[in-house]
Amino acid sequence: MGFFQKIKEGLTKTRNSMVKSFEGMLNSFTKIDEELFEELEEILIMSDVGVHTAGKICERLRVRVKETGTTDPSEVKGLLKEIITEMMEGGEELDLSTKPSIILVIGVNGVGKTTTIGKMAAELRRRGKKVLLGAADTFRAAAIDQLGIWAERAGCEMVHHAEGSDPAAVVFDSITAGKARGADVVICDTAGRLHNKKHLMDELAKISRVIEREAPGSAKEVLLVLDATTGQNALNQAKQFKEAAGLTGIVLTKLDGTARGGVVIAVKEELGVPIKYIGVGEKIDDLQPFVARDFVEALFDGNEPLRDETEAEE
């Protein structure tokens, strides 16, 4: 299955909910008026785009309609696609400009964090990168074993200590091993417990200090994994982590299992943090690098891909 087809199928529930409602609404109007904008805003809010982002989309749409002189409701869909694409574009590419580059992956338990790391490692391996994994989630039972299984599937080496070890020490050893073994990318798992938020955030700060000390000048990504099925709750989690962890990107998982895919739009707009990957299935190659234009095209139409397979792999 091709790149575009995976995204298209993964967004089926959101498309059937949000876009079908939107298209049905447009078909009921013969002119573009304030009632149309109000109904559109309501549909966006119901699709977990959020009140703030839905309002901003509609405001920009009003301006675009006026600028273009659009009077036919059937043309609103094209304008809406342009606006959402513009809002979501920028910063999608991982910064892998140094050797090694460091990726710190954070998120609460249950969002698919460890699975995401395995899939990300596999995707980077397909790009020809040598990847090393660091099992720094030492608090959760079986987290190390789970990451080890994914390391094997992805064809990566892994650094780990015993359960209950100091996570920062694991990160230290992972960076040291990455340098010694010529790794292009070192990806470190972290604990995801929020019941003691201060302890968790202190631990993340300690890990960040180790990275800065042991890999000065290295490209560093701090990626937060969010479960798209939780809708606006995912956005609230992201706001908490952004305050403490200096996020550089978001990974949204389980988009194939929800009609709340509109939260993707809200995350970028309200946090100002780019989306790096989206998860659209259970298979190892179902974590896809995020491309705003492809996402919007698949969400609204699911017709022709905007780029071919070769371009998608570059």
Q: Which residues are annotated as a binding site?
A: 107-114, 189-193, 253-256
Where is the binding site for GTP, in residues?
Answer: 107-114, 189-193, 253-256
Question: What's the rounded Cα separation, in Å, for the pair 289 and 238?
Answer: 19
Count, residues in the chain: 314
Contacts of 82 (CB under 8 A, 6+ apart): 64
b (16+ CB within 10 A) / e for 120-150: bbbbbbeeebbbbbbbbbbbbeebbebbbeb
Q: Which H/E stretch holds residue 252? A: strand 249-253
Question: What's the rounded Cα separation, in Å, for the pair 96 and 183?
Answer: 12
Alpha carbon distances (Å) from 226 to 110, 231, 297: 9, 9, 22
Question: What's the rounded Cα separation, in Å, for the pair 298 and 36?
Answer: 24
- Contacts of residues 158-165 at CB distance under 8 Å and 24 or more positions apart, as own/partner, are 158/132, 158/133, 158/134, 159/132, 159/133, 159/134, 159/135, 160/134, 160/135, 161/135, 162/138, 163/138, 163/139, 164/138, 164/139, 165/138
Question: What's the rounded Cα separation, in Å, for the pair 90 and 292?
Answer: 8
DSSP 17: I
